Amino acid sequence: MNQDEALKRYEETLEIPPRKLKRQIIVCPIGTVGSGKTSVIKPLSKKLSLLRISNDDIRKLLKENGCGYDSVRKLAYRLALKYIAKGFSIAIDGDCNSREAQRHMQELRRKYGIKVFWLHINPPEAFIIHKLKNYKHTWLFKDADEAIRNYYSSKATHENLNFPFVYVFDPSRDDLNKQIEEAATVIKKGIHSKQ
């Protein structure tokens, strides 16, 4: 199976929102491995009627089928473009902290007038390390040590961030549902603002 076939198979698993927003948006989280991006993006996507595109789900499918997954972001972006052209709003379930992701978001703003909402997924480091130590490692990392090394190797790229975050999540707190409600309210208000 090549990457195009894997992407097509992933596309068949997408949960298409029941309605489209009047103004298209894209939600982009920034967070390290283990920070809780999926814990935030999955329910937030449902609440806001966004099509969720998961980098990890694409990566897993590529790995299971013997494909390299260096181009996961490019494949996710191709899929996002396809559904944006169909009028859907998108939530990326993956770390958008890269120049490539920022360039893609600028292109979408220019070409489609899409409003981009940046979210910071930022729990304490102790929460991330505990989660990575106790997570059932199946495919992304061979074990906890590899996952923790990955976290520390990418940690510096998540310091001194310069994004216009509309909301900062702390998934270590026991009020994550409340945080999701608050973020959804902020995003709904922001959809119609001119800035």
pLDDT in tens, 174-194: 999 999 999 999 999 999 876
| Interval 72-131: pLDDT, tens | 888 899 999 999 999 999 999 999 998 888 898 999 889 888 999 999 999 999 999 999
User: How many CB atoms sit inside 10 A of residue 107's CB?
Assistant: 13
Token pair recorded at residue 184: 């959804």
Indicate the length of the chain as a whole number.
Answer: 195
Residues 57 and 95 sit within 8 Å (Cβ to Cβ): no
Q: What is the pTM of this model?
A: 0.93
**Cα separation, 165 vs 73, whole angstroms:** 21
